[in-house]
Structure 1
Amino acid sequence: MVNYNININDYKIVTLLSQCFQDKASVHLAKYLPSGAMVALKRFNMDKIKQESYLVDVEIILTKQLHHPHILPYFTSFVHGPDVYVISPLMAYGSCRDLLNQHFNDGLPEQAIVIILRDLLDALNYVHKRGIIHRAIRASHILVSSLGKACLSGFRYSCPIIVNGRWQKAIHSFPSSTQANLNWLSPELLEQNLIGYNEKSDIYSVGMVICELANGFEPFAGMCKTLMLTEKVRGNIPQLLDCTTISREDNEEYGDHDTNFGLSPKVVNRRFSEDLHKVTDICLKQEPVYRPTAEQLLTDPIFKTIKRSLPLPDLLKPALPLSDRVAFNTDEVEDLETASNFSNLEIFSCEWDF
């Protein structure tokens, strides 16, 4: 295994992949010069995040303590000047949000969702058993490698369930700087009442992510935050959009739709499996006690279909991993240090928000 140095001069930045953390951090494709390996280099501008610097500390410390195949690892981290740098593996497909934005506007194929969901639940089961609530599960925090392995990231908003050596039945703290995550958070977490919340709040977020991956956008998208909270507390449960959940009137309204507004014919005519609908519904139960644990969800029959499924990279076509996009872009790419080789790769709008 490569040991990554903490000297900024050992990393050659190739190009910008994205801005994240409300544009207070940037993610770059970089080359680790001692080995030639390509990595993701994340740079936090600490001058911009002085009041939220503790979130960076929490994420780095916690992520380095977690060791699981479906949690994005950090190779190393270091300070250089006013910036904090974090080095992680290059996830060649970017985030699930990237895939939706660039190739699957109406949602991912069901089998791709099932594979990603299994990896996500595997990571969550590990995290929850270690007494951690993630509190920021969303498509942009799920990254996919070139081999089709999904990894969970975004641990800066997490919190411990174990306090002073004791497992707490409920947590009452509200995550700060979480404006971007509100649509995915559970009703009980948003209510901030005396009952509090536990790791089952993450399961609600899993249900929201299934809807996001299946529909192409997160539930309550475009809705004002006050109305979104009201709808959640009232028990408005999001659904997978297909021919079983869109009414006949909706079909008539959108069936011949050929504009960029509303639902496409593909959406109103498709049919997701009953198993996927059931998993989504049970994750989004209003009362946390009726939601299963991540471990229980992993035993759901829907995951038996993975054995006879195509590999995830095949299911994600026409999307290509970053390395293949480089190869197809030009026959003369021999040195990735030349950023101009990437000018037409459409990698500047990614949401690598890890």
Structure 2
Amino acid sequence: MPWLSAGSLQSLLNPSSPNGLPEDLIAAFLRHVLEALVYLHREGIPHMGIKPGNILIDSNGVAKLADLCFNSSVYESRRRDPGPSPPFAMEVSGTPYWISPEVLKSPTEFPTKSDIWSFAIVAMELAYGRCPVSEIPNSGYLKFRIAKRFQFSDHCRTPPAPEIRCQEMSGEFKNMVGLCLDEDPSKRPSPEQLLLHPFFKKSKGSDFVLGFLKSLPESENPAIAG
């Protein structure tokens, strides 16, 4: 396997960009994630673990999806036995911030469109430096809140610290995320459709991404700075 020397998107958010990443950088990283989802979903495989810590960056500034053990085991089980899905391997009560409402309600189902919900939560986390509703304790109340449509104004109204302010995102970004957070999974766009969304016209090439990574202090990204 290749060595992904730049770490994960989570490592870029904390501590180097606690208030979020620039929008054109977010577009570049998310485009790479969508390209991975195009391949997975065409094979009928849901990732089921999309979050910044599972999006790794190589030395060329390309973001790649990691942590494929769960979905590959589901895929192999389905090939051998197309019957009922195997038990849900991820503990829903653990870190449900990125999990879609339909998976919270039925944790033995594996719809590929649940990845699109998680993708939108990651987009908001990259934009604002924190996961939506992450200030709420991980409890039944959180599961209630995460099953509702997110409002950008609600997300920015109570930042975790007075010095943290939400950056203003473009209308294209908000529209793209809103499409992905439809409570009806069938109405969410596919990865192919999202790649055509106007937001991804902001996406820049690997030289731009590498320039950003190399601009970070060595203590925050020693693999790139070196």
Secondary structure (helix, strand or coil) at the match of 2:64 reads strand
Alpha-carbon distance between aligned partners in 1 of 2:197 and 2:189, rounded to the nearest angstrom: 10
Equivalent pairs: percent with the same residue? 28
TM-aligned CA distance change 1:225 to 1:263, over 3 Å: farther
- List per-residue Cα deviations over 1:189-211 (Å, max 9, x = no partner): 011179x4510000000001001
Q: Using structure 1 for the length normalisation, give the TM-score.
A: 0.55
1:277 to 174, 181, 193: 174
Q: Using structure 2 for the length normalisation, give the TM-score.
A: 0.83
Alpha-carbon distance between aligned partners in 2 of 1:129 and 1:122, rounded to the nearest angstrom: 11
Alpha-carbon distance between aligned partners in 2 of 1:91 and 1:193, rounded to the nearest angstrom: 31
2:45 to 132, 137, 156: 132
**Displaced runs of 4 or more, over 6 A:** 165-168
- List per-residue Cα deviations over 1:201-256 (Å, max 9, x = no partner): 000000010011111111221422311111123x2425388xxx75xxx5xx98xx
Secondary structure (helix, strand or coil) at the match of 1:163 reads helix
1:228 to 142, 151, 155: 142
Match of 2:101 in 1: 187
Alpha-carbon distance between aligned partners in 2 of 1:178 and 1:156, rounded to the nearest angstrom: 17
What is the one-letter code of the residue matched to 1:261?
A
Q: Contact (CA 8 Å) 2:61, 2:206: kept in 1 or not?
A: no
Task: State how 1:146-295 maps to structure 2 within 5 Å.
Answer: 146-158=59-71, 159-160=74-75, 163-164=78-79, 173-177=87-91, 179-192=93-106, 196-223=109-136, 224-233=138-147, 235-237=148-150, 239=152, 246=156, 261-262=161-162, 264-265=164-165, 267=166, 270-295=167-192
Match of 1:322 in 2: 222
What is the one-letter code of the residue matched to 1:283?
C
TM-aligned CA distance change 1:197 to 1:309, over 3 Å: closer
What is the one-letter code of the residue matched to 1:174?
F
Q: Contact (CA 8 Å) 1:188, 1:197: kept in 2 or not?
A: no
Higher fraction of helix: 2
Alpha-carbon distance between aligned partners in 2 of 1:161 and 1:190, rounded to the nearest angstrom: 23
Q: Contact (CA 8 Å) 1:132, 1:161: kept in 2 or not?
A: no
Alpha-carbon distance between aligned partners in 2 of 1:239 and 1:166, rounded to the nearest angstrom: 42
Find the structure with the greater CA-based Rg: 1
Alpha-carbon distance between aligned partners in 2 of 1:286 and 1:324, rounded to the nearest angstrom: 39
Task: Note the C-alpha offset of 1:144.
Answer: 1.0
Alpha-carbon distance between aligned partners in 1 of 2:42 and 2:127, rounded to the nearest angstrom: 28
- List per-residue Cα deviations over 1:259-315 (Å, max 9, x = no partner): x724524x2xx3211111111111111110110111111111222233589611223
Q: Contact (CA 8 Å) 1:203, 1:283: kept in 2 or not?
A: yes
Structure 1, unpaired ranges of 5+: 1-73, 75-88, 255-259, 327-354
Q: Contact (CA 8 Å) 2:55, 2:66: kept in 1 or not?
A: yes
Match of 1:32 in 2: none
Alpha-carbon distance between aligned partners in 2 of 1:103 and 1:277, rounded to the nearest angstrom: 24
Higher fraction of strand: 1
Match of 1:338 in 2: none
Alpha-carbon distance between aligned partners in 1 of 2:12 and 2:223, rounded to the nearest angstrom: 16
- List per-residue Cα deviations over 1:16-50 (Å, max 9, x = no partner): xxxxxxxxxxxxxxxxxxxxxxxxxxxxxxxxxxx
